[in-house]
């Protein structure tokens, strides 16, 4: 028997999305969608026509030169990812099994994972409320205590956070007294400045990421830069399988296949000229969010200390549930119901099961930021209408005193 008309595949219910009197669904709003400059196709065509597809050639060299300029360093090494750059940095610094590596607890796991995989012992330090990045005063005290115990770390690794640079000047000063090298995880900091210098400048090595969600992307990839040619040469050697410069394949140690292809380098090279404009765009979006939400009780924004100029890669808020009337998870779910992506602040590493037994110094500040922090969608391609949607949804949830 034929199905009744109401159950037909061609019934009005089945074709409802195509009716003229029904508005089309609103497009999803991702957290940080990649942006294109319009120059990528030409750059890719030039690389393909040149035949330089492997990790070599003029496009790769030009990209490394551009990265060095953007980070304020004399040279840079392009890598397959930001994590690969971190791994190379740890090896170049001589991190060995049993060494301690200190880092901020409020960061992505990739900051410390390569060192742990090499057998190092992580130690997590709290952040300061002024910047949400590694607390220099705590670091200074902990280094002095470690020196008395004869157990200084092999490296200290501050991390830029959501476009906020770490205070490298203060961190470098604290570490220099004890001869401890500084590795800056600036994966999220490209385009930011601290004390008038590029994010990470002043560290022994600086890691940058060009992952798909970053303010400048190559669709993947990373870079290692710094002022010490010997460290960069060591990292470059390891990135190319540690092959010795002889006709046959000679290896005194093992290395990695960590170099960036010319294809991805071409994409990154096409985007880097837009870095300053993209930073201004992100900062303008942050200002509009601030204008639309700052009057709500119990809601505040990620601070910017006087010595820093953040990129505002992501706009981040803190929510006091009692004063606002809802917690950050309620906001996240309300946004998600409308196809809008947001994300909690990083869960501190000292609270991650993978590091349950790792030593730490403090952690209450970072834990509170995680409990109440939410990253709002901040991609370069967001429209003013999409910003207004986010603001309206958050405002609708505000119920002061009912949290």
Instruction: Look at residues 240, 256, 273 and tell me which one is the last residue of a structural domain.
Output: 273
* Residue 311 and residue 297 share a domain: yes
Find the CATH number of the domain harbouring 322: 3.90.1150.10
* Residue 280 and residue 260 share a domain: no
User: What sign does the CA torsion over 290, 294, 296, 297 have?
Assistant: positive
* Residue 267 and residue 289 share a domain: no
pLDDT of amino acid 291: 98
- Of the candidates 282, 309, 278, 285, the residue with the CA atom closest to the CA atom of residue 216: 278
pLDDT of amino acid 83: 98
Residue 287 has pLDDT above 90, yes or no: yes
What's the pLDDT tens digit per position in 265-285? 999 999 999 999 999 999 999
Biggest CA–CA distance in the chain, Å, is 88
Residue 249 has pLDDT above 80, yes or no: yes
Is 87 within a domain?
A: yes
Q: Which pTM does this prediction carry?
A: 0.91
What's the pLDDT tens digit per position in 356-401? 999 999 999 999 999 999 999 999 889 999 999 999 999 999 987 5
Give one word for 119, left, alpha or beta, with left for phi > 0 and alpha for psi -120 to 50: left
- Of the candidates 29, 123, 36, 121, the residue with the CA atom closest to the CA atom of residue 332: 29
Residue 402 has pLDDT above 50, yes or no: yes
Is 28 within a domain?
A: no
Instruction: Identify the band that residue 35 occupies on the pLDDT scale cut at 50, 70 and 90.
Output: confident
pLDDT of amino acid 21: 55
Residue 3 has pLDDT above 80, yes or no: no
Q: Give me the mean pLDDT over the 196-216 stretch.
A: 97
* Residue 121 and residue 229 share a domain: yes
* Residue 282 and residue 255 share a domain: no
pLDDT of amino acid 56: 87
User: What sign does the CA torsion over 271, 274, 280, 281 have?
Assistant: negative
Instruction: Look at residues 243, 273, 303 and tell me which one is the last residue of a structural domain.
Output: 273
* Residue 174 and residue 144 share a domain: yes
* Residue 323 and residue 200 share a domain: no
* Residue 177 and residue 308 share a domain: no
The structural domain count of the chain equals 2
| Cβ proximity of 345 and 369 under 8 Å | yes
Instruction: Look at residues 255, 273, 291 and tell me which one is the last residue of a structural domain.
Output: 273
Q: Please classify residue 58 by burial: count the beta carbons closer than 10 Å to its beta carbon, then call 0-12 exposed, 13-18 middle and 19+ buried.
A: middle
Residue 191 has pLDDT above 70, yes or no: yes
Beta pairing partners, 79? 222, 259
Is 242 within a domain?
A: yes
Find the CATH number of the domain harbouring 111: 3.40.640.10
Is 213 within a domain?
A: yes
Show the tokens assigned to 197: 């210098």
* Residue 279 and residue 269 share a domain: no
Is 21 within a domain?
A: no
Give the C-alpha separation, 336 to 177, whole Å: 48
The residue segments making up the domain with residue 392 are 275-397
Is 18 within a domain?
A: no
pLDDT of amino acid 11: 35
* Residue 298 and residue 211 share a domain: no
- Of the candidates 348, 325, 301, 385, the residue with the CA atom closest to the CA atom of residue 109: 348
User: Quick one: DSSP state of residue 81?
Assistant: B
pLDDT of amino acid 34: 87
Is 236 within a domain?
A: yes
Average pLDDT over the chain, rounded to an integer:
93
Instruction: For residue 49, give Cα distances in angstroms to 61, 90, 263.
Output: 17, 37, 11
Is 58 within a domain?
A: yes
* Residue 69 and residue 168 share a domain: yes
Q: Give me the mean pLDDT over the 50-59 stretch.
A: 88
* Residue 191 and residue 44 share a domain: yes
Residue 25 has pLDDT above 80, yes or no: no
Cβ count within 10 A of residue 118: 15
Give the C-alpha separation, 105 to 115, whole Å: 15
* Span between the terminal Cα atoms of the chain, in Å: 57
Show the tokens assigned to 232: 């960069």
């Amino acid at each position: 028997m034929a199905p009744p008309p109401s159950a037909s595949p061609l019934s009005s219910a089945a074709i409802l999305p195509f009716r003229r009197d029904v508005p089309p669904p609103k497009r999803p709003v991702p957290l940080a969608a990649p942006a294109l400059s319009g120059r990528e196709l030409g750059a890719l065509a030039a690389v393909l026509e040149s035949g330089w597809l492997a990790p070599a050639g003029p496009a790769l060299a030009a990209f490394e030169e551009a990265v060095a300029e953007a980070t304020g360093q004399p040279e840079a090494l392009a890598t397959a990812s930001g994590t690969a750059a971190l791994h190379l940095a740890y090896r170049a610094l001589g991190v060995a099994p049993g060494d301690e590596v200190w880092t901020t607890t409020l960061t992505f796991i990739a900051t410390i994972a390569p060192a742990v995989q090499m057998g190092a012992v992580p130690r997590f330090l709290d952040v300061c409320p002024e910047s949400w990045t590694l607390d220099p005063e705590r670091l200074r005290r902990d280094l002095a205590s470690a020196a008395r115990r004869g157990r200084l770390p092999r490296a200290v690794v501050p991390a830029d956070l959501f476009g906020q640079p770490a205070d490298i000047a203060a961190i470098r000063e604290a570490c220099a007294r004890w001869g401890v090298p500084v590795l800056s995880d600036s994966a999220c900091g490209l385009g930011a400045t601290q004390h008038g210098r590029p994010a990470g400048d002043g560290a022994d090595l600086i890691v940058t990421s060009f992952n798909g969600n970053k303010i400048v992307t190559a669709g993947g990839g990373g870079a290692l830069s710094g002022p010490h040619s010997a460290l960069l040469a060591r990292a470059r050697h390891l990135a190319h399988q540690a092959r010795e410069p002889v006709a046959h394949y000679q290896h005194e140690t093992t290395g990695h296949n960590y170099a960036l292809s010319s294809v991805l380098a071409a994409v990154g090279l096409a985007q880097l000229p837009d870095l300053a404009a993209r930073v201004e765009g992100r900062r303008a979006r942050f200002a509009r969010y601030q204008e639309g939400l700052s009057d709500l009780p119990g809601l505040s924004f990620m601070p910017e200390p006087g010595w820093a100029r953040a990129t505002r890669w992501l706009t981040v808020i803190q929510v006091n549930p009692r004063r606002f009337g809802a917690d950050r998870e309620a906001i996240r779910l309300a946004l998600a119901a409308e196809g809008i992506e947001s994300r909690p602040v990083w869960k501190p590493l000292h609270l991650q099961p993978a590091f349950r037994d790792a030593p730490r110094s403090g952690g209450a500040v970072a834990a509170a930021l995680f409990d109440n922090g939410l990253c709002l969608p901040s991609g370069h391609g967001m429209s003013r209408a999409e910003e207004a949607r986010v603001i309206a949804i958050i405002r609708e949830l505000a119920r002061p005193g009912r949290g």
